[in-house]
Amino acid sequence: MTATLYIIATPIGNLEDMTHRAVRILGEVDLIAAEDTRHSLKLLNHFGISKPLTSYFDHNQQLKGERILNALRQGKSVALISDAGTPCISDPGYQLVRDAVAENISVVPIPGACAAITALSASGLPTDSFTFAGFPPSRQGKRRTFLSGMSSLPGTLILYEAPHRLLETLHDIREVLGERQVIVARELTKMYEECIRGSVSEVVAAVSQGIVRGEVVILIAPGTAVQMEREPLEQVLHRLMADGMLSMKDIAKQASEIACVSRSEAYSEALKLRNGAD
């Protein structure tokens, strides 16, 4: 094999989804770069593949990326895999691909599983136009701004989310995008695969019934964003502070939810108003 960077998709749960081509190429390359070598070693052992393995993830990609490029410059072939699914899709890798292309090194994709596309194909939502936006920000203020920026996009919206933030994100979807139809798909291709369908409120009620485990895909139906007139932050703060019964922390919390801003911004403005009054 000549110097080639292979971008190889791996199963998102069910090992039977591994393609024959992916197995063959992994058995032929000189080096395999994996997000988590311990996790990937289980996959490789399952298919009887024994090749040199190196880690490549967010916090070491600059150092390891250069080492991988050096291997490619020497004429070696390298396979890039992620923990699950297609590398570079909400996973590390695009910088390595970019740098390889810049040096005229051949980059070959080996297609396979991708959670976003898998969920979309079974969603029943429009598939002719869609936007995949990866993981929303973890902080509520930034997450709502993120969602607001997609409110006028056509087609289906696809997000990834961690299970412990699912309810918060669904609440923000309802607040920012309105009562759209959504689908929460989790544990795709695994034993406990589940797709919860309905309006945002219906899905929130269903999700609230138990503990959500496994990575989650959220699909949001197309729709016109609900334009809500929000009370200005300063006006909200004046009203809450006039009550005299709430702590500054509680005032900031309530104001952030009413005015759709971050708690830190609400708290900072509340302090300015209080100090001004003093």
Strands laid side by side in the 106-110 sheet? 53-55, 31-34, 77-81, 4-8, 106-110
- Structural domain of 80: 4-113
Residue 57 has pLDDT above 90, yes or no: no
Mean pLDDT, the chain, whole residue set: 91
208 and 122 share a domain? yes
Using one digit for the tens of pLDDT, what is the confidence trace for 225-278? 444 456 788 888 888 888 677 888 888 888 887 777 888 888 999 898 888 765
pLDDT of residue 230: 63
Write the CB contacts of 104 (distance below 8 Å, at least 6 apart in sequence). none
Q: Is 228 within a domain?
A: no
**Under 8 Å between Cβ of 76 and 3:** yes
Arithmetic mean of pLDDT, 212-235: 77
104 and 8 share a domain? yes
Domain boundary pick from 113, 144, 172: 113
Q: Is 226 within a domain?
A: no
pLDDT of residue 261: 80
Of residues 148, 11, 25, the one with CA closest to residue 78: 25
Write the CB contacts of 131 (distance below 8 Å, at least 6 apart in sequence). 150, 153, 155, 156, 157, 158
**Under 8 Å between Cβ of 227 and 205:** no
Domain boundary pick from 113, 131, 152: 113
pLDDT of residue 253: 84
CATH number of the domain residue 62 falls in: 3.40.1010.10
Arithmetic mean of pLDDT, 55-83: 90
Domain boundary pick from 82, 113, 144: 113
Q: Is 56 within a domain?
A: yes
For residue 228, the 8-state DSSP code is P
pLDDT of residue 52: 95
| pTM (two decimals) | 0.77
**Under 8 Å between Cβ of 13 and 42:** no
pLDDT of residue 227: 42
- Classify residue 157 as exposed, middle or buried by CB count within 10 Å of its CB (0-12, 13-18, 19+): buried
Tell me the two tokens of residue 110.
């080996």
CATH number of the domain residue 177 falls in: 3.30.950.10
Split into its structural domains, the chain has a count of 3
d(CA 19, CA 49): 14
d(CA 179, CA 58): 35
Tell me the two tokens of residue 157.
């919206």
